[in-house]
Amino acid sequence: MTVRFAPELHFLLAPRNRGADVRAAHDPAASLGHVVQSLGVPLTEVGALRVDGRTVPDSHRPAPGATVEVAAVDRPQRLPFPHPRFLLDVHLGTLARRLRLLGVDTAYDNDRDDDVLARQAADEQRVLLTRDRGLLCRRLVPAGGYVRADRTDAQLREVLERFAPPLAPWTRCTACNGPLAPASAADVAADVEPGTRAGYDSFARCADCGRVYWPGAHHDRLERIVRDAESWVAAAR
Ligand SMILES: [Zn+2]
């Protein structure tokens, strides 16, 4: 059987398979989804599958000599649940904080193993973002995304352009993902130094962990991140 991957998926293939049709041995017991994943490409990254020009499900068992075409997911990607929500693996903590800054519902914890992550993604209907292909290949994972970039800025852009989630900047706690509610200077008097309080009149408090937010020293940098993010999502839609 011959398998032809879309160019966007070539980086996931073994180097010897990049840039050309991949020959795969015929195994009557193997589904097409299994063949594709065994070549290194998780089905979370795959769009339409065609065998000899006909669209087929990943459970299809190709005949010997078939030619298979594997497309990348559409961008922006449609999700199997109504509200784009994410779950990030333990290596993506900085990206998690950025997504929360933008108001995107993002679960993250720095000590979850693969079993727990896959189960949580299924239970809470979240898109699992990771750089672990084995994790993305698990049956339980309802939707996922392989994060290709190394730097947080590039990772954020990659995720926003792929999923184009609705943004609601400054509405979520970057530490715990809880919702923020407006708070007065008097409300936060016990948590914020008097000198800090004097300079600001706009505060917010996390309803879940109680952390207090105000436009502090990093505000210009964060506003730039928000502006960039909004322009990426607008362009991706
Ligand atoms: Zn919080």
Distance 171 CA to ligand 1 centre (A): 11
CA distance 106 to 126: 9
Residue 182 clears pLDDT 90, i.e. is over it: yes
Neighbours of 162 (CB within 10 A): 21
CA of 186 to the centre of ligand 1 (A): 20
The predicted pLDDT at position 201 comes to 83
Per-residue confidence (pLDDT) for residue 38, from 0 to 100: 96
Q: 211 CA distance to ligand 1 centroid (A)? A: 6
- Give the rounded percent of residues in the chain with a pLDDT score beyond 90: 88
Q: Residues of CATH 3.10.20 domain(s) within the chain?
A: 2-72
Nearest to 24 by CA among 7, 41, 8, 11: 41
CA distances from 75 to 7, 87, 91, 116 (A): 15, 19, 24, 28
Judge contact between 149 and 155, C-beta under 8 A.
yes
Residue 199 is predicted with a pLDDT of 80
- Please tell me the distance from the alpha carbon of residue 109 to that of residue 130, in angstroms, as a whole number: 13
In the reported structure, the alpha carbon of residue 144 is separated from the centroid of ligand 1 by a whole-number distance in angstroms of 25
- Beta-bridge mates of residue 2: 23, 67
Output the CA 117–ligand 1 centroid distance in Å: 21
Q: Give distance in angstroms: CA of 180 to centre of ligand 1.
A: 8
The predicted structure's pLDDT at residue 196: 79
Q: State in Å: Cα 133 to ligand 1 middle.
A: 30
Q: Tell how far the Cα of 109 is from the centroid of ligand 1, in angstroms.
A: 13
> Is 169:103 a contact under the CB 8 Å cutoff?
yes
3-state secondary structure (DSSP) of residue 5: strand
CA 225 – ligand 1 centroid, Å? 20
- Quickly state the pLDDT bin for 36 (edges 50, 70, 90): very high
DSSP 171-236: -B-TTT-PBEEEE-TTTTTTTS-HHHHHH-S-EEEETTT--EE---TTHHHHHHHHHHHHHHHHHH
Q: Cα of 68 to ligand 1 centre, how many Å?
A: 48
> What CATH number does domain 2-72 carry, 3.10.310, 3.30.450, 3.10.20, 1.10.760?
3.10.20
50 contacts: CB under 8 Å, gap ≥ 6: 56, 68, 69, 71
Number of C-beta neighbours around residue 31 at 10 A = 16
Q: 207 CA distance to ligand 1 centroid (A)?
A: 7
Quick: pLDDT tens for 198-228. Answer: 788 889 999 999 999 998 878 999 999 999 9
**212 CA distance to ligand 1 centroid (A)?**
9
Question: Higher pLDDT residue, 193 or 47?
Answer: 47
What is the 102 CA–ligand 1 centroid distance (Å)? Answer: 14
Tell me how far the alpha carbon of residue 110 lies from the centroid of ligand 1, in angstroms.
15
